[in-house]
Structure 1
Amino acid sequence: MTPVETETDYGYVDGNAAAGPLQELLAVEPTTVRGQCSTCGRTSMLADTRVYFGGPGLVMRCRGCGSELLSLVTTPSGTWLDVSGLSCLSIPADPTV
């Protein structure tokens, strides 16, 4: 008979364990966050992007190449955030920096 495997045997737990760190991370001033464009590699603060409104949401585009960085759509059934145009986000520890 083999011992019963648990989730901790694999070195992971479920996504609920990330709730605290993600809540802290997402409670920041978004204009101070820096993003890197997946297309051209340009890095800038999100406040420096071009934002277009239309339909049920908004689209952020890179000032360097015009590629879509982020889209945010809110409907009565929920909110969707697509950041596939960003290769990374950098959130400052001190938002005044």
Structure 2
Amino acid sequence: MTDPSYLDGNMLDGPLRELFAVDLSTATGRCAHCGTLGELAGLRVYTHAPGLVGRCPNCAEVMLRLVRSPEHAWLDLRGATFLRVPMPAEQPYRSPR
């Protein structure tokens, strides 16, 4: 017997693809350390580490890490409490029925 109260995680493919097809530099995030709210474009990005490290412009704590290989990308946002991404109005998310 299957539980109809949830869907398989594969259903996230479309909504996540839609989400990451936008310009994330205008996305707003909140620093998990000091609570500063601002656009990702305002982060201080360091490139001399393995990958990219985005630090809060207020407290300098790490908010974002992005590491890329030829086959994969790793995105670590544990230094942010949330990431609010502006979405184009013409492509709203539609819930599966």
**C-alpha separation between the residues in 2 aligned to 1:65 and 1:82?**
18
Cα pair 1:32 1:92 within 8 Å, conserved? yes
Deviation at 1:81, TM superposition (A): 0.9
Deviation at 1:67, TM superposition (A): 0.4
**C-alpha separation between the residues in 2 aligned to 1:90 and 1:63?**
18
**C-alpha separation between the residues in 1 aligned to 2:41 and 2:11?**
31
Structure 1: gaps (5+ residues): none
Matched residue count: 88
CA 40–26 in structure 1, closer or farther in 2 if over 3 Å, else same: same
Cα pair 1:56 1:75 within 8 Å, conserved? no
RMSD of aligned alpha carbons: 1.3
Match of 2:86 among 63, 68, 92: 92
Structure 2: gaps (5+ residues): 89-97
| TM-score (norm. length: structure 2) | 0.83
Give the partner amino acid of 2:9: G
Deviation at 1:93, TM superposition (A): 2.9
Larger Rg: 1
Higher helix share: 1
Runs of 4+ in structure 1 deviating by more than 6 angstroms, as ranges, are none
Indicate the percent of aligned positions where both proteins have the same amino acid: 44
Match of 2:6 among 12, 16, 20: 12
